[in-house]
Amino acid sequence: MREFFVQNFGCRATQADGAAIELELAAKGLLRAASPEAADVVVLNTCTVTASADHDARAAIRRVHRENPRAQILVTGCYAQRASQEIAALPGVTWVVGNSHKHRVAEIAAAGQAGASSMRSFVPVEQLALSAPAFTLIGDIFAHTELIAVPVMAGGDLA
């Protein structure tokens, strides 16, 4: 059984999105790992409010890749939306999914590399050269019409 780990950076909206992603990954049959080192898929849900936030995300990507080189790393969130090419070029990054397509994170991660390869048709032709080596799915954030949501639970427990 594949295991996932979600790490969130930034604001409460990012935290809520991360909780929703966790629920969606669990609904796809993945199990929550105790740490990034134990996960098959690591989702880094990023912020980009400051240069420091960008630096923290890049450092986390490098750390996950160094400590768990077998993990598939999916980077999403505001930093992924703003600087997809920069993130896609980092070693270890398998997928970059902007906020425009964040509602598809669980689908992409659960499908694995084969699933991402079959989804390449969603990437605009002008971005294909820029998306290598990571699969990149970024669109116009202002055209975004789907949101992810998580139910509010007592005690903050997602299980």
88 compared with 133, residue with greater pLDDT: 88
* Domains annotated on the chain, with CATH: 3-151 (3.40.50.12160)
pTM of the shown model: 0.76
Cβ atoms 34, 71 nearer than 8 A = no
Diameter over CA atoms, the chain = 46
Q: What percent of the chain has pLDDT over 70?
A: 70
Tens of pLDDT, residue by residue over 45-90, are: 999 888 999 999 999 999 999 999 999 999 999 999 999 999 999 9
11 confidence band (pLDDT: 50, 70, 90):
confident
CA atoms within 13 A on the CB side of 8: 13
Say whether pLDDT at 103 is over 50.
yes
What's residue 127's pLDDT?
A: 45
